[in-house]
Amino acid sequence: MKQIIRFIITGTLFIFLSSAFSQTSLVVGASGGANLAKQKLAGDMPFPGRDFDGNISRTLQYQGGIDLGIQFGNLAILTGARYNQRGNKLTENRDDPNSKYWVLPDGSTDVGELTVKTKYNFISIPLMARYKLGQGAFKFSIALGPQFNLGAGKVTETDEFQLLNKGEIINEYTYEYGNAGDNLLKKSNVSFVFMPGIAIDVSPKGSFKVNMILESSGDMLNKSYLVNGGERKVQGSIKSRTFALEIGYEHRLDFNVGVKY
């Protein structure tokens, strides 16, 4: 009896794998779109050594890249290279000259509104598993997996003051990625990506696709970043939650490596 069960299981796996590999394809494509990212800040962030009780809002940024993978029937393993812009906006109004006011870079004080806009970029490499559902030209897909992000260029922070006495003051700061005391964000981080989507076949080998992307990052803050005039290392975290919508095209190149009878 055990031998019969083993034979059935082995035969089923063989048929499944033969069928899957007989439909093996190389997947290549490109996609791009827009995203809304929002940082979750804790501890010393966003203003090291200063309290912040304003509003954090999302800003529209862009992303896109090339896709590469292997498809086995309805299952695919996908990777590629992506350029991801990220950013957010923080706004706070301080209107009490006796207790709630701004201390400006020159040491003077004033009341009014401060808007801080932060922008940064990543070169990202995803590693995702995707499964497609449906028959015919219209299909649904679900993909998920980690994404490895490497800082590109510099982090840019723009402080825009609208003050009662001094009017508009704009200061811009840039930071390198890394582990030095003046690097706000570390060089790399890992995020998790969940990506549902739809695909419409426009040819026997090509599909037009629309994907919704939900991305959650790990801590991006460089723990060696110095605060309080360089007196101590930062105590806090910066994490990002991103919603994106992309459109793209995908092409399949069949291998035809399965066993035929």
Q: How far apart are CA 240 and CA 248, in angstroms?
A: 24
Domain count, the chain: 1
Range of the domain at 124: 2-90+118-158+177-254
Q: For residue 49, what pLDDT is reported?
A: 44
Tokens of 218: 């790990």
Residues 6+ away with beta carbon under 8 Å from 171 = 105, 158, 159
Q: Which residues pair with 193 in a beta bridge?
A: 145, 215
Whole-prediction pTM: 0.81
Q: Domain for residue 112, yes or no?
A: no
Q: Domain for residue 239, yes or no?
A: yes
Q: Which amino acid is at 241?
A: R
Q: Domain for residue 40, yes or no?
A: yes
Q: Domain for residue 152, yes or no?
A: yes
Q: For residue 12, what pLDDT is reported?
A: 46
Return the beta strands (E) in the chain as ranges.
24-43, 55-72, 75-94, 102-103, 109-110, 112-126, 128-133, 138-163, 167-175, 188-201, 206-217, 226-227, 232-233, 236-254
Q: For residue 236, what pLDDT is reported?
A: 86
* CA-to-CA dists, residue 113 to 102, 117, 170, 172, angstroms: 9, 13, 12, 16
Lowest-confidence segment of 55-59, 143-147, 176-180 by average pLDDT? 55-59
Q: Domain for residue 170, yes or no?
A: no
* CA-to-CA dists, residue 232 to 41, 43, 203, angstroms: 19, 13, 60
DSSP secondary structure letter of residue 229: T
pLDDT in tens, 160-178: 999 998 899 898 989 899 9
Identify the residue with better confidence: 20 or 61.
Answer: 61
Q: For residue 99, what pLDDT is reported?
A: 82
Do 81 and 127 touch, CB atoms closer than 8 A?
no
Q: Domain for residue 154, yes or no?
A: yes
Q: For residue 7, what pLDDT is reported?
A: 52
Mean of per-residue pLDDT scores for the chain:
86
Q: Domain for residue 105, yes or no?
A: no
Q: Domain for residue 106, yes or no?
A: no
pLDDT in tens, 216-249: 999 999 999 888 777 888 888 999 999 999 999 9
Q: For residue 217, what pLDDT is reported?
A: 95
- The CATH number for 202's domain is 2.40.160.20
What mean pLDDT is predicted for residues 12-33?
70
* CA-to-CA dists, residue 254 to 70, 71, 143, 199, angstroms: 10, 9, 21, 18
Lowest-confidence segment of 67-76, 93-102, 183-192, 240-249 by average pLDDT? 93-102
Q: How far apart are CA 140 and CA 60, in angstroms?
A: 26
Judged against a pLDDT cut of 80, whether residue 20 lies above it is answered with no
Q: Which amino acid is at 141?
A: S
